Amino acid sequence: MKVRVYRSDARQRDAKLIAYDVPYTKGMRVLTALEFIQEHLDPTLSFRWNCGAGQCGSCAAEVNGKPVLTCKTEIREGMQDLSVFPLKVFPPVKDLVVDFAPAQKKLKDLRAHFTPAREKKPGEFYRLQEWQVQAAQEMRKCIDCFICYDVCHVLRDAPHLNFVGPRNLVKAAAQEFHPLNVVNRAPLVEQGGLSACNVTRCCTESCPQGIQITQNAIIPFKERVISSKDPFEKLLKKVLK
Ligand code: FES
């Protein structure tokens, strides 16, 4: 079969699709084809991978126009042509390797890195409810593949809106839903362009971990932004303080 792979250097000099002949074996994955090319046809081909089992998220690329984990994507028999591109929403580094730094910078703005939770007072007992465990655990299933970020049409079509992106909202939600969370992220996600998301669910549908990004991360944040502006809720918070 023919596997066409996007090749370039960081400055996009000589960016081109190169076609390689790869022997097809039943059940082979896209990552296997890339490894074959690197081992037998062109050792200069660059791509990331680590676990080979859909757990580390490092092997994501666009295969026939769709962002997927290459280690989990089977090449079906009879597929004559395969094209493999890097995740296009990120600045390229080389071939299929991209730079995630812009997304990581936005994550920092949401205070989603190692945010300390409120310390329990000595002897304080906290009963954690099952639904609270599940809400936080779902967000922690994220493997940082950035597939949801790559399919997001806001990030693709309106980068000027500087939207923080679905993956970063998942990370922020993992902190926000901790029952002892002390950070109010409503203003942070609002500044992060949350209103630009019109909940089309493309991120949710693409998530290899099955995280309900729209339903359980984006919509709750939207609700928090709205309620943070509600004068009645503000008053209630003051009274309950
Ligand atoms: S190599 Fe780890 S998810 Fe694909």
Sort 147 into a burial class: Cβ within 10 Å, 0-12 / 13-18 / 19+: buried
Specify whether the CB–CB gap between 174 and 136 falls below 8 A.
yes
**Confidence at residue 128, expressed as pLDDT on a 0 to 100 scale:** 79
Distance 60 CA to ligand 1 centre (A): 7
Is the CB of residue 182 below 6 angstroms from any atom belonging to ligand 1?
A: no
Residues of the chain with CATH 3.10.20.30: 2-98
User: pLDDT of 227-238, one tens digit each?
Assistant: 887 777 666 666
Specify whether the CB–CB gap between 116 and 179 falls below 8 A.
no
Distance between CA atoms of 119 and 181, rounded to whole angstroms?
10
Domain spanning 2-98, CATH architecture = Roll (3.10)
| Residue having the nearest C-alpha atom to atom 3 of ligand 1 | 54
**Confidence at residue 14, expressed as pLDDT on a 0 to 100 scale:** 72
- Torsions phi, psi for 195 (to 5 deg): -65, -20
Q: Name the residue of 32, 55, 96, 97 whose CB sits within 8 Å of the most ligand 1 atoms, as the mutation to test its pocket.
A: 55
**Confidence at residue 63, expressed as pLDDT on a 0 to 100 scale:** 96
**Confidence at residue 235, expressed as pLDDT on a 0 to 100 scale:** 67
Distance 49 CA to ligand 1 centre (A): 5
Distance 48 CA to ligand 1 centre (A): 8
* Pure H helices in 42-165: 101-109, 130-139, 147-151, 153-157
Distance 203 CA to ligand 1 centre (A): 19
Q: What does the block give as tokens for 64?
A: 């026939």
Which residues in the chain land under pLDDT 70? Answer: 10-13, 113-118, 233-241
Is the CB of residue 56 below 6 angstroms from any atom belonging to ligand 1?
A: yes
Q: Tell me if the pTM is above 0.85.
A: yes
Residues 6+ apart with CB under 8 A from 108: none
Is the CB of residue 166 below 6 angstroms from any atom belonging to ligand 1?
A: no
User: pLDDT of 72-127, one tens digit each?
Assistant: 999 988 777 899 999 999 999 999 999 999 999 998 888 776 566 667 778 877 77
Fill in the amino acid letter for 131.
Answer: W
Residues 6+ apart with CB under 8 A from 105: none
Distance between CA atoms of 128 and 120, rounded to whole angstroms?
13
Domain 101-240 has CATH 1.10.1060.10: yes
Q: Which residue has the tokens 């329990």?
A: 120
Fill in the amino acid letter for 56.
Answer: C
* Pure H helices in 28-122: 30-36, 101-109
Residues of the chain with CATH 1.10.1060.10: 101-240
Is the CB of residue 69 below 6 angstroms from any atom belonging to ligand 1?
A: yes
Measured between alpha carbons, how far is residue 64 from residues 28, 170, 189, 191 in Å? Answer: 16, 27, 33, 34
